[in-house]
Amino acid sequence: MAFGGVEGLMYRRYTLDEVKRKIINSLQDNATGLSGVELASTTGINRMTLTKYLNILATMRLIKKKRVGSINVWFVEPGMAEYEFPLNYLEVQQKFMNAIMLADGNQARNILISVINSNIELLKILTDIVVPTVNTVNELYSRGRLGKTERIHLLNLILELIDLLKFTIQTGNIKRSASCFFVAAAEDRIYHAKIGALALQILGFRTLYIGNVEQHIDPFFDIDFQRYMVKLWDNNKGLLIICIYSSSEGSLRFLYSASIAVKAKLKAEVRIVLFTTPELRNSMESLGADYVVNDLTSLIDWAERETSK
């Protein structure tokens, strides 16, 4: 028996992107906002399903709600823009960078959310908008145009914002039989390591950022490092990629040696990647790592080749 009305809509499985587009499109056409019942009617989505996704989108700060009497009314966050193809990445990157340089977190967040909402590839947001901004901040610092405190603040602001991308990744996107452990061993590489982990997660790898271990390296740390890597792997199957990020030759050599010991202990196919500065890249290649790299795009290309063999 078929039922009419909103509650009679047949249940079906939606992707987050499908629901996001339906909800945002409906709210953008209604400046005064819509209730859950009204959104269910305009989007054609079952109310129980819709409620779940409304809360997810609110957590992502794509939308917000206001209590009107006994009803929740939903709105698009103010300041959002709708970007369409072909996207001028340079223009968007400039707007994002300007907002970051002004430490205007709200404006930078709105720009990033608007781009995400425009159905742009998440990886392109990282490689063409976020990474150039990180590089610009570091370059200005190296030229003496930014102080240490300002650089730390701006880079941490960027890291907080890219969590928006992380929350947008579909949980069912993992499709590669490869795990990637990311370890930083220098403060100036934390940002690169976190972005690298997010980039490969977007591509369907199982990724885990361990943290910055620079201050903990001592003559006995290699044993602790090996023990935890083995514990994390826990006899999983597939390829394991250990990515070590540092601008210090000593830290790279120490962690590379520890990773070689991990490779010997695990019953797994292990690859060791060293991510460092262009200046150290040549000398680090002599260690015999599977790959030495100093930019995100090259790491992405290499990782995809490794999993397609």
Instruction: Tell me how far apart the alpha carbons of residues 208 and 277 are, in angstroms, rounded to a whole number.
Output: 22
pLDDT given for residue 4 in this prediction:
38
Count how many domains the chain has.
3
Residue 291 DSSP label:
E
69: left (phi over 0), alpha (psi -120 to 50) or beta: left
Q: What integer is the mean pLDDT of 23-31?
A: 76
Query: Residue 216 carries which side chain, given as an amino acid letter?
Result: H
Query: Do 301 and 237 fall into the same domain?
Result: yes
Query: Percent of the chain having pLDDT more than 70?
Result: 87
Instruction: List, for residues 28-45, the tens digit of each pLDDT value.
Output: 767 778 888 888 888 888
> What is the number of other CB atoms lying within 10 angstroms of the CB of residue 175?
10
pLDDT of 172 reads: 58
Q: Which residue has the higher pLDDT, 65 or 98?
A: 98
The average pLDDT across 254-283 equals: 94
- pLDDT score of 2: 36
Residue 75 has pLDDT above 90, yes or no: no
> Do residues 127 and 142 share a domain?
yes
* Predicted pLDDT of residue 80: 54
52 CB-near residues (< 8 Å, 6+ apart): none
Closest by alpha carbon to 131, among 207, 203, 194, 214?
Answer: 194
- Whether residue 199 sits in one domain with residue 296: yes
Rounded-to-integer distance, Cα 151 and Cα 110, Å: 21
Q: Strand order in 71-76's β-sheet?
A: 34-35, 71-76, 63-68
Confidence class for position 78, pLDDT limits 50, 70, 90: low
Residues 240, 154 within the same domain? no
Is the pLDDT at 288 greater than 60? The verdict is yes
Q: 70: which DSSP letter?
A: T
Q: Are residues 94 and 196 in the same domain?
A: no
Give the tens place of pLDDT for each residue, 154-174. 999 999 998 888 877 765 566
Q: For residue 267, name the pLDDT band (cuts at 50, 70, 90).
A: confident
pLDDT band (50, 70, 90) for residue 5: very low
Rounded Cα distance, 122 and 142, in Å: 29
CA dist., res. 264 & res. 169, Å (int) = 33
Q: Which helix (H) or strand (E) holds 274?
A: strand 269-275
Domain end position, chosen among 15, 49, 76: 76
Mean pLDDT of the chain: 85
* Residue 273's CATH number: 3.40.50.280
SS (H, E, C) 24-80: HHHHHCCCCCEEHHHHHHHHCCCHHHHHHHHHHHHHCCCEEEEEECCEEEEEECCCC
Task: Identify the domain boundary among 22, 55, 76.
Answer: 76
Same domain, 65 and 130: no
Identify the band that residue 221 occupies on the pLDDT scale cut at 50, 70 and 90: very high
Pairing label, strands 34-35, 71-76: antiparallel
Cα(267)–Cα(269) distance, rounded to whole angstroms?
Answer: 7
Q: How confident is the model at residue 122 (pLDDT cuts 50, 70, 90)?
A: confident
Position 137 in a domain = yes
pLDDT given for residue 115 in this prediction: 82
308: which DSSP letter? T
pLDDT at 126: 92
> Is residue 280 assigned to a domain?
yes
Q: Do residues 194 and 209 touch, judged by C-beta distance below 8 A?
A: yes
**In degrees, to the nearest 5, what angle opens at C-alpha 131 toward C-alphas 130 and 137?**
95
Q: What is the CA radius of gyration of the chain?
A: 22
Q: What domain range includes position 65?
A: 6-76
Same domain, 137 and 222: no
